[in-house]
Amino acid sequence: MAVTFARGFRAGTAACGIKAFTTGASAIPRDQKDDLCVIHSAYPCDTGGVFTTNKVKSASVVIDQLHLQRNRVQALTINSGNANACTGAQGFRDALLMAKLSADRLDLDPDQVLVSSTGVIGRYLPMDAIKPGIAEACDGLSSDRGDAAAKAIMTTDTVPKTAHVEVDIAGTRVRVGGMSKGSGMIHPNMATMLAYITTDAAVEAGLMSGIVKSIADRSFNQVTVDGDSSTNDSFLMLANGAAGNAPIRAGSKEAEQLATAITKVAQDLARAIARDGEGATKLMTVRVRDAVSDEDARSAARAVASSSLVKTAVHGGDPNWGRIVCALGYSGAELALDRLHLTIGGLVVFERGAGIDVDLAAVRRAFEQPEIEITATLGLGDGSAEAWGCDLSEEYVRINADYTT
């Protein structure tokens, strides 16, 4: 399942001890979990990617942007435990070497391999540990190892994140599957978030890169855990054509059906990330409706979902809707207080410019559910969006106060 749900994709994994070697260990830990995976497609893929907007990009992101230009990607090699970011020229050499080692083993050219890294910033990749890991992962490629791959890319994640969906497009059954990681450092601009979606749909060259941004805008860019954007965030979409349908053209009805299926998988993976935010105990879904534009709605939803004050209130089960109104106010979205309608867990708490008398105990019960739904209807236009976040807990602080040590 996961990235191997679509036909023609196989995955392999290895346990290299990357984090241990990165932080100075001299031997691989006994209970080392898998920390490297290779995804291989039987055919070259049409591939689209979006990457971090941070001006400081990991070497792997820069290499991927380069390799995507030829658009004949056929494999991905991903490691957790070390981000290969802020590592200067050595970092680029290491990222290229990861691609080349994988390509050699899989009989591909290096630019047919994309690489991703996630973990500690500012340390060189332990290539002596990675080299045999790539060989092992390539040798173990199997269509059964999708879930194992989803585990191999985890860092502080507590659960692997996978999703899949099957759709009929013009009479052909098409499969879409994916995996993601990301728990702390998650933000609209996808901080330390990695996501990969594969499909066996046949598409005309360039379709994936044409739709990847709008899918990210409605999924991963609407997830927020703590407001930081990392150096490594990557979202890649690969279509290998194994389904055998007539290649889907940009702008067609079929392209829209495929985009809808991929968006479904992407949103499932995005929600899974929010739910697994570092120290999170609750999933928060923020819906904004009737905004001036979709973009306004996205900004407004994100602002609420990423407000530290809303997040701590949600954590504490505190019905402090004033903080939600406040976050809408600084989101940059057009807002007219006298038109705003706000519900928490289905209860109306604000309308026509002022809070209304509500049963505070009922609001409190709504906040105490494991999933909190906040809906803001702006009354200004047709724009709508969702964003997902989590509560901010004492546990988040504990995890992040002592990450490298």
**Contacts (Cβ under 8 Å, ≥6 apart) of 329:** 335
Q: Encode 364-382 in three state secondary structure.
A: HHHHCCCEEEEEEECCCCC
Stretch that binds a copy of itself, among 73-81, 210-218, 264-272, 331-339 (CB under 8 A): 331-339
- Residue 168 CB, shortest distance to a copy of itself, in Å, is 41
Q: ∠ CA 347-351-355 to the nearest 5 degrees?
A: 80
The amino acid present at 256, given as its one-letter code, is E
333 three-class SS: coil
Q: x/- string (CB under 8 A) for a copy of itself, residues 373-392? A: -------------------x
User: Residue 400 interacts with a copy of itself (CB under 8 A)?
Assistant: yes
Q: Which tokens sit at 314?
A: 């949600």
The residue within the footprint of a copy of itself, chosen from 226, 254, 296, 386 (CB under 8 A), is 226
User: Residue 29 interacts with a copy of itself (CB under 8 A)?
Assistant: no
Stretch that binds a copy of itself, among 172-180, 229-237, 249-257, 377-385 (CB under 8 A): 229-237
Residue 316: which H helix or E strand, with range?
A: helix 308-316
The residue within the footprint of a copy of itself, chosen from 32, 74, 162, 393 (CB under 8 A), is 393
From the candidates 192, 224, 231, 285, which is the catalytic residue?
Answer: 192
User: Residue 330 interacts with a copy of itself (CB under 8 A)?
Assistant: yes
Sign for the CA dihedral angle at 12, 79, 34, 275 comes to: negative
Q: x/- string (CB under 8 A) for a copy of itself, residues 188-207? A: -x------------------
Q: Is 122 left (phi over 0), alpha (psi -120 to 50) or beta?
A: left
Q: Distance of alpha carbon 131 from its chain centroid, rounded?
A: 27
Annotation says 224 is catalytic: no
C-alpha distances in angstroms, 357 versus 314, 320, 349? 20, 13, 7
User: Residue 403 interacts with a copy of itself (CB under 8 A)?
Assistant: yes
Q: Which residue has the tokens 């990681």?
A: 181
Q: Which is nearer to a copy of itself, 105 or 323 (CB)?
A: 323
The residue within the footprint of a copy of itself, chosen from 78, 120, 174, 202 (CB under 8 A), is 120
Strand partners, 183: none
The residue within the footprint of a copy of itself, chosen from 194, 313, 344, 387 (CB under 8 A), is 313
Interface ranges with a copy of itself (CB under 8 A):
53-57, 83, 85-91, 120-123, 184-185, 189, 226-231, 307-309, 312-313, 315-323, 325-330, 335, 337-338, 350, 352-355, 364, 392-394, 396-398, 400-405
| Active-site annotation, residues | 192
